[in-house]
Structure 1
Amino acid sequence: MLPEISLDTIGFEEIVKKARSQIAEIYPQWTDYNYHDPGITILELFAFLKEAQQFYIDQTNDSMRKKFLQLIGVVPMSRHAAQTTIKLLSEQPITIPVGTKFTINGLCYENKELAHIPGDILQDAIVKPKHGDVFCFHFDHTEKHGNMVLYPFGKNTESGNQFFLALKKPLEKEKNYRLSIALDDHYGVERNPITDPSSFVPLSHVQITYFDGTKDVEILAKDETLGFIRSGGITFSISNDMAYTSEEKIDGYFLKFTLTRDEFDVSPAIIEISFQDIPLVQKDTKATFGDMKQAKIWKKDNILSDYYAWNQENGCYIESTPEAATKVAFYERDFYGQRILAYGNGLPNQRYEIKQKGLLADSFEILVSSMRNEGYFRQWIKVADFDASGPDDWHYVVDEKNNCILFGDGIRGRMPESEIRIVSCSFSAGNDGNIKAGQKIEIIDDLPAVDAEHIQDAWGGREPEELAESFARARKILHNDERAISAGDYERLVMETPGLRIWDCKVLDASGFHDVQYGNEVRIVVRPFSENGYAPLSDAYQKNIYHRLMERRLIGTSIKLYSPVYIEAAVYTELRIKPQYLHAEKSVENAVRQFFANLKGFGPTISYSALFACIDGLEEVLEIYMLYVDARGGRISRNKNGDVMLPPLGVLLLKKVDCIVIR
């Protein structure tokens, strides 16, 4: 961290004294240093200016501190609404309009998208592997599925494996459905979180189809699970009518999931699946501004609307009729009278407070009416500050901390002098929205009488970030080096690759390879996690790791990735045991397995003498007659001491301990 630098460290008298002492050297002819001399008067004047300048330069306010943060790419985070999930327990189909409000623990939550709940329609699940036995599972809507473990593509995944969901009733055309899938994630190595799905190369590809009576129709879905590697929802709609058919002697309406590309690190295991889950966001939307097509999906009850048509000539909106409009502002009835925030007075630095607390800056938009043309409105642009604004810029700032909006001074940003109309705004409780699962749910908007369960802890809610918190985050970012320079940098970046489970990795000594072509070459062996311990480095793993490293490497650095070479070892021993120990074989096997468990990493050496000492040191053992280590796979070698030396890419796996006991 850079030290704090103080610029205002010298006073007026000291500045004058220092300048006067330099006169003799610079201009020896000047001999009168008294106060009456005009030159001394001018010198004192400049000393005063220097003292004033260094004082002002040394002052830093919050606006300047924010600019310092922007220089390193850090912007104070705004208020953010929490998210959670509920389950609607309904036998019959329900349509949940956008913005339907639910009260949970006294806070307002809204659904983010138009949703159609088909009711409890899951009937059966069929797992149909390409090779092996077919497995069928029957959903019973009267029981909880918390203990369900269903491998949709089998325990041994393979391209061509299929998973069928048999539905009791067909899904309706052109309606949005969300199939929520919860996957078991209890493995020895956690999957690294994925913050940017668009840059992640999926480990698999799953094709979703349904039968319309003549052919299988493919579904283009939005897949939050990223190919069944994490819990989430699959959102989709169908374009044709579903046909009643049969599969593996089970009748119903089927959704078919076909695994067309398989590079899974672990076989996905479903522990819960449902069409009845709805994601909610903790906010109270009072107004929203959108295209006319949204008028068809936005809820109608308790909503008032203003319609606008775009006028290209003037670059603004005109109040219009629904038939001619291109934009529409939706308002809750009780907020409609508050949509006019104020009437601008044309003065600099206007400030207007919002009555309701918890304003979300991202949701806020305004139109300002024209002074010349009645019914004309210009959309003003929301900015972080007025530093880059000119006198003709239609800019305003939302201050979440003080729950108000600010306008410019005529030099930086225009000054409104007419009606200021809110067309979009939402409010949130921020941190208070992060409530625990299991809270009581009340439905504000009119829906059929249904029960609802709050099934997920709310997460992600936060208050506007204080400046001190932004600086603390900036320090953390600066300390977390994202550049790949040293071997340790490369290994850390590989281990943190989003979406992957990695057991271990190591940067190899490139000088030991005969095919090195570049002076600056980095070679890395990576061991992916797998349940059996034998996973090779798949193409998808390599692409994700390459993508992460290539953006962070030094220019001119070549990177090459290697899969581990798995070496299977077996230990054979014959020994004499003290007669009072009845289960000595198990103790010896445990000691040997622990010895091999300590040989972690790549290219370890199995020391014959150390293994001998490990067994001989057991209390049960009197004498060792024979000890032999058999290792197979890769280019292993032995030295004269009998030690087994693995190649640099070698990973040791103990497969067998054969212990013959003589008492």
Structure 2
Amino acid sequence: MSLPTPRLDDRSFQDLVDEAKRYVQQRCPEWTDHNVSDPGVTLIETFASMTDVLLYRLNRVPDRHYVKFLELIGVQLFPPTAANVDVTFWLSAPATEPLRIPEHTEVATARTPEDEPIDFSTTRPLTIVPTTVDHVASQRADDDLVRHHDEAFVGGQPFFCFSETPVAGDRFLIGLDDSAPSNALLLRFACDIEGIGVDPTNPPLAWEAWNGDGWSPCDVESDTTGGLNRAGDVVIHLPDDHEVSVVDGANGGWLRARVVEAFETQPEYSASPRILALEVMTVGGTAPAVHAKTVVNETLGVSDGVPGQRFRLEHAPVVPGQEVVVEVSGDDGWVDWRSVSDFADSEPDSRHFQLDATSGEVAFGPMVRLADGGVQQYGAVPPTGATIRVERYRTGGGRKANVAAGAITILRTPIPTVNRVVNRRSAAGGLDGEDLENAKVRGPITLRTRNRAVTVEDYEQLARLAAPEILRVRAVPAADSSGVRVLVVPAVADDEQGRLRFEQLIPDDGSLERIADYLDERRTIGARVVVEPPRYQGVTVVARVRARRRFATEPLRDDCLRALYDYLHPTHGGPDGDGWPFGRPVHVGEVYAVLQRLPGTDIIEDARLFAADPVTGERGESVQRLVLDPHSLVFSYEHQVQVVDR
């Protein structure tokens, strides 16, 4: 069976005739005789027949020619986008002096018999600083008074860190001698078993750090204290915005343990934990990394002095979103040349070049012959004999780099006192390069938009051009009709249970800025463009499922949770599996359908929907139908499933 012939234009002979007759009615209303015998209609059918032959031949143009047509109108394949991940550097011993992890530090996954290692490099420097405790204090939920325990702490006297009967909002504060952004701290407690009532594996505690404007959540690596109930260690990761501040006259880098409202199945404190001693040590730090290899000072070749020169990078594709600078040697040293999307606005002395990120080709400005026989140079030409090099660029990208948590374990750049590295969460954002079929779809859209934004479809298309790493884009008119809201959803990766963290859905600031700047140059005069993430409506499902005979309850519970998180997912959920539709409500009947089709499910005894705030965790009343705003998406928040035996 032969491959299907591409249909570049699907209009038939009759479509062309009907279209011509409609134009006749609009442009020449006095022509009323449209019968086949009319000489004018005969001419229309003659030209339609000739056009039909041209379309027949055009539809048999091979893909290679079509690619060339796309290149003529400026369409290029989107390059692969690189996955991003946070990598934690663990020290062999607590820090005693500042340790700097430089930018471009390389880490990788382990080599296996089936797969080659996947390289990552850090995108900004990290400083791991030693820390000590300067202050300890507590604060009740219903009281602004801060009760310092510094004297008791120094004297080794035990003290209660919460109120006598802890309630949600009670806080235990720790003041460090300095801020430690992105550092991992080990809090070594000596505690009495006083905070009874809680589940030691799931205490109702949240660790937070002060960022200058409010309290940012801290990730808990491990907790062997059972919720501050026994001697042990709590290892937490401070956010990157941790700052020094003053609390009740005491200066320090503050963090706190806050009692949170317990879930239905989570027991609460009936008495406050009692602290005997506390020691704080810095044991590591976390830096962002990208799936890319950094290439430095790569020589492309020597200029021959003619317009339109082209050179190719040794490593392709080039990771989008970075500023690539080409340097050309001269009498006064190296001169920087700037990358542009096209040479339309380049003067003969403009030091511009064009970069094809997919192929890695660097092109300098061409010389174009004009209609009067003259020539016009677009962009400067590197002088004859000049050496051309690229100062720095990153190469990599692709879906394969969306590795699971714990996959990155190799430190390629040796750093003293760093014992091991690991990624605590899955890498996300890696996408493969665009294929030809999608580029064929973009071709006609590009011809229509003409690099300007008028309709909401134009804004969506141009936003994808500006930031290929964005997974979903939706443009909607602003509420006051003065502009357009461009809602963007980044590519995300789930954890092993299929869950997302809410902060994963917040697009990178760099992507938002690139989209905003790109659209600002192409919007209509007077239009206001706002680029932001959509509103997310949290949804919590509480269900009771009866298992079939000979089916274990725990695996079925895991399957139920995975199915719920997969279906109520903003990027790959929904009825079609390509992301929850914007504004589509959630029905409790869908929950029954999702759970009932699992192999181990016998019957769904009960299922309820609750609206939930994805930031605060507040939950509303049970509803049969959860209504979403017209341009919002769902976010699964802490589903609860109970599975019982038959």
> Normalising to structure 2: TM-score of the pair?
0.40
Point out the structure with max Rg over C-alpha: 1
Q: TM-score, normalised by structure 1?
A: 0.40
